[in-house]
Amino acid sequence: MSQSAVSEEPLIKIRNLHFSRGSRKIFNGINLDVRRGQVTAVMGPSGTGKTTLLRLLGGQLKPDQGEIILAGEGDIGRMRRKALFRIRRQIGMLFQSGALFTDMTVFENVAFPLRVHTTLHERLLHDVVMMKLEAVGLRGAAALRPAELSGGMTRRVALARAIATDPQLMMYDEPFVGQDPISMGVLVQLVRRLNDALGLTSIVVSHDLAETMSIADYAYVIADGEVLAEGTPQALQQDPAPEVRQFIEGLPDGPVPFHYPAPPYRDELLGEVL
Amino acid sequence: MIGLDSLARLGRAGLALMAALGRSGVLFFQAVWGWPSGQGVKLWMRQVHFIGVLSLIIIVVSGLFIGMVLGLQGYSILVGFGAEQALGQMVALSLVRELAPVVAALLFAGRAGSAVTAEIGLMKATEQLSSMEMIGVDPMRRIIAPRLYAGFVAMPLLTAIFAAVGILGGMLVGVDWLGVDEGSYWGTMQATVDFRADVINGMIKSVIFGLVVTWIAVFQGYDLVPTSEGISRATTKTVVYSSLAVLGLDFILTALMFGRI
Amino acid sequence: MRKQHWIEVGVGAFMLFGIVALIFLALRVSGLTLDRNEPSFTLTASFSNIGGLKPRSKVTLAGVVVGRVTDIQLDTKWYEAKVTMSLEQKLEGLLSTDTSASILTAGLLGENYIGLTVGAETDVLEDGDEIRDTQSALVLEDLINKFLINSTKD
């Protein structure tokens, strides 16, 4: 009984999160749960602060208000530097650009977190790195340098590096953006497979709707600093709210306007030059 | 209204400057207390190589030429007083006290400081610093601290090499070409250059310059706006601020060290 | 690992090069001798005018450097300069009490230094004693003045 009660409790619980950058409000009271073992998708148009959300989760930014509770560890937004570095070992993050260390080979990149956090013997370390590279299908690329990799391969190496220390939580920042259809398919499959095979919990932040929906267990749509809609992908597909419809069907204009806020067009053309 | 407006702008700029100073101070202390555990020496060695060994050529060549110019100019001035034997003293004192620490620091800022800023800036722009942080490695320890300590060690060594090469360059011109007696070249030098007052003070200057230039370089790299424009601006700032800081500090240090005599 | 190896070699050579340069500056340029802290003894002397004498100026005996000036103070009672010098210990007990100290100039425009000349007395100077027989610096302007005054008298 108690076992199931624990697994019922979400791994991450975000409550009433406020964050602003300068005078621009990015989050205006967001509530969000990430359940253990699931792939949770956070979707929304560009510029809605999806990457910012991941940075808040990783403790690289501090919220203005509200809580980000990591189960068993407390509020990430109020952690001290040392505690943050400790919990980050439990979190893997895949950056949009891959963010491989350009002065190291692929092998050394994947070995980096292991060298820092473990005292594995060199032989064992080699085997672990090769295992992780095999999982993303790039064992053969171990000796290459990041500059010699294609975009899709870079992201897969970064993924291997992120899972090197077997984290509990994986965060993906726009993992599918700018990929050719094949790499995209590979990455989509990898996210889901790794989640299930390694017993991870995953957060995917993306605006690639179809791909993300196909692997997510639960999805949030955020826009204008608020959660527009949430639910299973099937439920969202049926959601009648016009904002959700616009996003899901990809309509150019709707509740989320096509135009950046501007004075009336007529005035601008006819009025005197400022 | 315009007066109030510009006053407000001035206030904002002042606050921004204070904030930047504060951030750089925090960075300095975090890096100084953050000697990377485990691989520290290896990382530090890499940086000494990058900012010290690779600056060697420019330091040696500049030192040689500055010493030779000092030899020529010094000779033409001193020969007017019939005091050309004092050439060694003049070359050595100007190099050891002033020229070696200052010129080596300026060259160091241009050669190594800008490279450090660009490197760290590019790491920031490509999210390498962020991803390091998320892996649970503090970039302060892994990236900033080894560079700061490397600058701290490399600068005095470069300065000593600069001064030594310069004195030999001065001898080349003065003794071999212009015919100053070699004995008096070294003799007047040894009679007037004092180890504590001149050599050690010059080294103290160079240690401070090394620290300040590397500090400015790593801070500009760490604090920049991660775009290509931001990187180029920060690199320029590194060279400009370091040069100004070196020259300003040189005056203060000289006044403190030699002002009383 | 091969690259790291060359980095280490390069850094090692660089450090060696730098330290050699420092030693060069110390020994060859500043003339630092390693026996700087050799035992020494102190004498004082009062001069009515020291000219350009400074702390760290040489003290010579028969042209050989035997010590340095360590301190110069103004004696407000007699308005004289009280010069303290530190000499090599091997001279302690060898300098007679009528040893004279004069302030000399190296060349026409060179630096000032103290030249000692040993006298004939059998009593000797000990640590902290004062040299009585002193001769002040020759100030060029004074010499010229004297010369002019003397020549107008004639």
Query: For residue B117, what pLDDT is reported?
Result: 94
Instruction: Return the amino acid letter for B176.
Output: D
Q: Are strands A12-21 and A24-34 parallel, antiparallel or unpaired?
A: antiparallel
What's the rounded mean pLDDT across residues A38-44?
86
- C12 — pLDDT class (breaks 50, 70, 90): confident
DSSP output for chain B:
-HHHHHHHHHHHHHHHHHHHHHHHHHHHHHHHT-PPTTTHHHHHHHHIIIIIGGGHHHHHHHHHHHHHHHHHHHHHHHGGGT-GGGHHHHHHHIIIIIIHHHHHHHHHIIIIIHHHHHHHHHHHHTTHHHHHHHHT--HIIIIIHHHHHHHHHHHHHHHHHHHHHHHHHHHIIIIIIT---HHHHHHHHHHH--IIIIIIHHHHHHHHHHHHHHHHHHHHHHHS-SSHHHHHHHHHHHHHHHHHHHHHHHHHHHHHHHTT-
For residue A262, pLDDT over 90 is answered with no
Say how far apart CA A9 and CA A2 lie, in whole Å. Answer: 11
In a domain, C102, yes or no: yes
State whether C44 and C19 are in the same domain: no
Residue C56's pLDDT band, with cuts at 50, 70 and 90, is confident
- Write down the mean pLDDT value for chain A: 81
Neighbours of chain A (3+ CB pairs under 8 A): B
B-C interface (Cβ pairs under 8 Å ≥ 3): yes
Task: Give the chain B residue whose CA is nearest to the CA of C19.
Answer: B157
Q: Nearest 5°: phi and psi at A96?
A: -55, -45
The pTM assigned to this predicted structure is 0.76
- Is C149 inside a domain boundary? no
Rounded CA-CA distance B57/B73 in Å is 24
Considering CB atoms only, which of C11, C31, C107 is closest to B190?
C31
- pLDDT value at position C35? 52
Contact call for B52 and C14, based on CB within 8 A? yes
Chains A, C in contact, 3 or more Cβ pairs below 8 Å = no
Q: How many CB atoms lie within 10 A of CB B8?
A: 10
In Å, what is the CA distance from A205 to each residue of A13, A31, A65, B126?
A: 16, 16, 22, 19
Q: How many CB pairs under 8 A join B and C?
A: 86
The verdict on a CB contact (< 8 Å) between B126 and A97 is yes
Tell me, yes or no, if B191 comes closer than 8 A to chain C by beta carbon: yes
Whether residues C45 and C65 fall in one domain: yes
Read off the amino acid at residue B260. R
Number of domains within chain C? 2
Residues of B whose CB is below 8 A from A85: 136-138
In angstroms, the CA A62 to CA A57 distance is 9
pLDDT > 50? residue A178: yes
Shortest distance between the Cα of A146 and any Cα of chain B, in A, equals: 12
Contact of B76 with chain A, judged by CB distance below 8 Å, is answered with no
Same domain, C53 and C16: no
Q: Is residue B108 part of a domain?
A: yes
pLDDT at C59: 87
Burial class, A247, CB count within 10 angstroms (exposed 0-12 / middle 13-18 / buried 19+):
buried
Task: Determine contact: B130 vs chain A, CB below 8 A.
Answer: yes
B156 touches C at CB < 8 Å:
yes
Instruction: Give yes or no: residues C56 and C130 share one domain.
Output: yes
In a domain, C151, yes or no: no
Percentage of chain A lying above the pLDDT 70 cut: 93
Q: List the single residue in B52, B81, B161 with the smallest CB-CB distance to C21.
A: B161
Which residue in the set C10, C29, C54 is minimally distant from B189, CB to CB?
A: C29
In a domain, C152, yes or no: no
- B253 belongs to a structural domain: yes
Residue pointed to by tokens 């002040």: C136
Residue numbers in C near B165 (CB within 8 A):
21
The answer to whether residue B161 sits within a structural domain is yes
Q: Is the pLDDT of residue A5 over 60?
A: no
Please give the Cα distance from A110 to A133 (Å, whole number): 8
Indicate whether B37 belongs to any domain: no
Q: Give the pLDDT of residue A264.
A: 78
Domain match, C107 and C82 both: yes
- Locate A254 and state its tokens: 């709707």
Q: Which of C25, C32, C58 sits opposite B160 (nearest CB)?
A: C25
B134–A91 C-beta distance less than 8 A: yes
Chains that touch B (3 or more CB pairs under 8 A): A, C
Query: Across the strands, what pairs with A32?
Result: A14
Distance CA(A30)–CA(A49), nearest Å, equals 12
C25 and C44 share a domain?
no
DSSP state of C124: B
B77 and chain C in contact, CB less than 8 A? no
- More confidently predicted of B36 and A233: A233
pLDDT of residue B156: 93
Q: Does some domain include residue C112?
A: yes
From the candidates C20, C23, C30, which should be mutated to test the interface with B, based on the most B CB atoms within 10 A? C30
With beta carbons under 8 A apart, name residues in chain B contacting A21.
Answer: none
A227-231, A259-263, A270-274, C146-150: range with lowest mean pLDDT: A270-274
Nearest chain A residue to B140 by CA: give it.
A81
Look at A158 and B131 and tell me if their CB atoms are within 8 Å.
Answer: yes
State the smallest CA–CA distance between residue C32 and chain B in angstroms.
Answer: 6
Domain assignment of residue C150, yes or no: no
Q: Which domain holds residue B204?
A: 44-258
Check CB contact under 8 Å for A95 and B135. no
Q: Is residue C153 part of a domain?
A: no
User: Within a domain: residue B32?
Assistant: no
- A85, A159, A161, A172: best to mutate for the B interface, most B CBs within 10 A: A85
Q: Please answer whether residues C85 and C42 qualify as being in contact, where contact means their C-beta atoms are separated by less than 8 angstroms.
A: yes
Number of structural domains chain B divides into: 1
Residue B260 contacts C where some CB pair is shorter than 8 Å: no
Is B22 inside a domain boundary? Answer: no
Give the chains touching C; criterion: ≥3 Cβ pairs < 8 Å: B
Higher pLDDT, A40 or A237: A40
Which pLDDT score, from 0 to 100, does residue A55 have? 84
- Chain A, nearest residue to B127 by Cα: A99
- The reply to whether C22 and C46 lie within a common domain is no
Residues C18 and C46 in one domain: no
In this structure, is residue C73 part of a structural domain? yes
A–B CB contacts, 8 A cutoff, strictly below: 50
C-beta separation of A170 from A119 below 8 A: no
Cβ contacts of C111 on chain B, cutoff 8 Å? 191-192
Clarify whether residues C24 and C70 are in a common domain: no
A113 and B127 in contact by Cβ < 8 A? no
Print pLDDT tens along chain B (261 aa): 567 888 888 888 888 888 888 888 888 888 888 777 667 788 888 889 988 888 999 999 999 999 999 999 999 998 887 777 788 888 999 999 999 999 999 999 999 999 999 999 999 888 888 888 888 888 888 888 899 999 989 999 999 999 999 999 999 999 889 888 887 788 788 877 888 888 899 999 999 999 999 999 999 999 888 888 999 999 999 999 999 999 999 999 998 887 765
CA distance B68 to B60: 12
Q: Tell me the nearest-neighbour CA distance from B153 into chain A, angstroms.
A: 23
Instruction: Give pLDDT, residue C37.
Output: 59
Residue B109 region by backbone torsions, left for phi larger than 0, else alpha for psi between -120 and 50, else beta = alpha
Distance from CA of B127 to the nearest CA of C (A): 25
End-to-end CA gap in chain B: 53
pLDDT by residue (tens digit) across A189-224? 888 888 888 888 889 888 888 888 888 888 888 887
Please give the residue range of the domain that contains residue C121: 40-144
Are C75 and C122 in a shared domain?
yes
C58/C4 same-domain check: no
Window from A177-181, C18-22, C40-44 with minimum mean pLDDT = A177-181
C52 and C26, same domain (yes or no): no
